[in-house]
Amino acid sequence: MANVIGPDISFYEDDPETPQGIDFVKMRTTAGYVIIRAGQNLWPDPIFKYNWQQAKKAGTPRGAYWFYDSRVDPKRQAELYASLFEGDFGELPVFVDIEDTYKGQYAGWRKWYDFLERLKQLVNGKEIAIYTAFYYWRDNAPNATLQATSLEYFHQYPLWIASYGTQPPAIPKPWTSTEWLFWQYSESGDGKQYGVESNSIDLNYFNGDIAGLRARFKLTETPPPTPDPNPTPPPGGGGTQTGKKHKVTTTALRVREGPGTNFTAIGMVYFGEVVEELDATNDRSWIKIKNKDGVIGWCSSAYLVGVSGTTPPPQPEEPPIPPVPGDETNKWYRVNTSALIVRETPKADGKVLGYLIKDDTVPALDDTTNLEWIQIRRLDGLTGWCGKNFLVLLGNSRPVEVRQNFFKGITYLRKEVISPRKNVIHVLAIDLPNATYEFLVTPCKNTNGIMCTRTTSKFLDEFKLHVAINGDGFNYLDSSIDPAVYCADGGDPVKPNGFAASRGNIYSQVKSAQPTVYIGQKNQITFEPKGKVFNAVSGDRIVVENGQIAKNLALNVPNPRTALGLNKNGRWLILMVVDGRETDYSQGVTLPELATLLISYGVYSGVNMDGGGSSTMVIRGIDGKPRVLNSPVDQNTAGKERSVANHLGIFVR
């Protein structure tokens, strides 16, 4: 008997920096079904509804699962889970994933019972099944000898068992050895084969062949026809202006000859670009657009948001921050003493401008005109003379690794790599106990959580900070939100994707599966709320968990990235930006590559923040002005900063 194979997926298999998403049409050619994660805690997966709809359009039998979280009332979790289906419960069972280790107040099998009973009331007779693993269930379910009646209660629910490297799978009581419905036998399937953006993917067997699958779930023998990849546009359209305008909400969006992914791409539109609508398919899943350069074609509406019918006059762009000098061809030196004075003139009594510390690496502007002194320049603009005896020559060009200390307790590390491709990595390592900091997440001046976009440089300058990086992803708001009302001082009205707070004011209450970084009033940093929320900023996903690369990260497209991580004992905060989209300079990394980089800097828990054109790292220069350390690329323009919703900044006292 050939067991039918199907994957289980979540938002982790999708890369937020790419517009294509999961290819369910391709998945249908290799999979007999798919099981889609719906959420956890009180956090719906951000793309569950989209995945649910797209799998249905592709004709793939669907199941869904909810990760039970012991920190939240089980009945509330069940109610949220059921509500996500909007009456369409799919073809396979609705699953509850029972492997919680949070040890919350709702831990234990009695609370699983509450979840299952409430879910049963809400799904109108739909079959419910349990996902678990042998040893977890054995150690946490009712005792088979002392609580046999309670254990038997769970027997009514079919079993989806996780069991790797065993044949047949190990099955816990109360189920018998053959009483499994699905068996998750691998967590390292070929992601590309199944149309996802991660290298690996969970794979499952159905306990039966294709005929058994169809009979068990009353599926039609002939699946629904594949959606037409080349749908005929509705009559009456073509090229007439409709007066509607849209803003692009993804990094780069293909413009195609027709309304379908199999039509040839004829151009691109970019994040923040406003395009005019000429036509749309009947279901408005594809919109025919014209951009400012006259390119006309079809784009997926999933990555467009409506704006007011008349394009407002463009706001004057903020003047670009001058690039930090690279000094690629200068001689570079390393400091070999504990502290080295930088003086205004090459004299022992010259005015003191600042200090370098041991192992700082700096370029020489002049190391020939004076036998005893070298003129150096630090990346923050500190320029002056240092005693030659305390500097060791590293070479006649910039080294692949640069180390500089701008502020007490904050070390900047720049690294160039050539494998697996050319990349430049920027790191700020922040020694939390050994300096006095004040953290700040961008505050919100509007009472309804509407933010006004600003560049990371402007954020740093406005709040007189020393360090800043970009924060969460965000969504543009529709034409009912007037920028002149909400953002009179400039910027576009937007809302961040996730939970956000600044100085005790929670201005975005969004709870999702995406991680949140909490920073307490005493600068304690956690990934779970502890006490009253002070500062909080959300990211895209966890990429490092317990010192390991998180499971099933999408990896197919390298991109610029911003990340944040903590070492195991919480002493070091790592802020990282990887440049990208510049072929001859830095091409970017995939999410697993980002995780590997974070781990190489000692990160035990790490989060991917908003990336792509948003990725920016800024410091305050010696002159008090912002200095951008990396090379951002907004709207395909190298060196251009993107205006974003919120940021994370540090003031050094």
Tell me the per-residue pLDDT of 481-503, one tens digit each, with 9 for 90 and over: 888 889 988 999 999 999 999 99
CA distances from 159 to 330, 534, 613 (A): 66, 43, 44
Computed over its alpha carbons, how large is the radius of gyration of the chain? Answer: 28
> Which pLDDT belongs to residue 236?
36
- pLDDT band for 310, please (50, 70, 90 cuts): very low
Number of other CB atoms surrounding residue 602 within 10 Å: 16
Give the whole-angstrom CA distance, residue 188 versus residue 456: 38
Q: What are 216-265's pLDDT values in tens digits?
A: 999 986 544 444 444 444 333 445 566 789 988 876 788 888 888 767 77
Q: What are 337-360's pLDDT values in tens digits?
A: 999 999 999 999 999 999 999 999
Q: Can 245-307 and 332-397 be said to share one CATH topology?
A: yes
> Which pLDDT belongs to residue 230?
47
Give the whole-angstrom CA distance, residue 498 versus residue 608: 13
Looking at residue 233, its amino acid is P
What b/e readout covers 128-145, taking b as 16+ CB neighbours within 10 angstroms? bbbbbbeeebeebbbeee
Q: Which residue has the tokens 């062949």?
A: 209
The encoded tokens of residue 195 equal 């149309």
What b/e readout covers 238-267, taking b as 16+ CB neighbours within 10 angstroms? eeeeeebbbbbbbbbbbbbebbbeebeeee
Please give the residue that has the higher pLDDT: either 268 or 148: 148
Mean pLDDT check: name the lowest of 271-280, 305-314, 315-324, 519-528. 305-314
Three-state helix/strand/coil letters over 41-68: CCEECCCHHHHHHHHHHCCCCEEEEEEC
Please give the residue that has the higher pLDDT: either 429 or 556: 429
CA distances from 637 to 225, 471, 581, 609 (A): 43, 20, 9, 21
Give the whole-angstrom CA distance, residue 162 versus residue 134: 7
Domain boundaries, given as residue ranges, for the chain? 5-216, 245-307, 332-397, 410-652
- pLDDT band for 507, please (50, 70, 90 cuts): very high
Q: Which CATH superfamily is domain 332-397 in?
A: SH3 Domains (2.30.30.40)
> Which pLDDT belongs to residue 225?
46
> Which pLDDT belongs to residue 241?
61
> Which pLDDT belongs to residue 10?
86
> Which pLDDT belongs to residue 271?
79
Rounded average pLDDT over 35-40: 94
Q: What are 159-187's pLDDT values in tens digits?
A: 999 999 888 999 999 999 999 999 999 98
- pLDDT band for 556, please (50, 70, 90 cuts): low
CATH number of 5-216: 3.20.20.80
Q: What is the pTM of this model?
A: 0.71
Q: Which residue has the tokens 């590309």?
A: 192
> Which pLDDT belongs to residue 316?
56
Average of per-residue pLDDT values in the chain? 90
Give the whole-angstrom CA distance, residue 301 versus residue 309: 17
Give the whole-angstrom CA distance, residue 547 versus residue 567: 8
Helices (H), 330-467: 456-462
Helices (H), 103-181: 109-122, 134-140, 148-153
> Which pLDDT belongs to residue 318?
61
Q: Is 165 left (phi over 0), alpha (psi -120 to 50) or beta?
A: left
Q: What are 48-59's pLDDT values in tens digits?
A: 988 999 899 999
Domain range 245-307, its CATH number among 2.30.30.40, 1.10.286.10, 3.40.50.300, 3.40.50.460: 2.30.30.40
> Which pLDDT belongs to residue 315?
52
- pLDDT band for 13, please (50, 70, 90 cuts): low
- pLDDT band for 472, please (50, 70, 90 cuts): very high
Task: Please give the order of strands across the beta sheet that includes 339-343.
Answer: 352-357, 339-343, 383-387, 373-377, 361-366, 332-335, 391-395
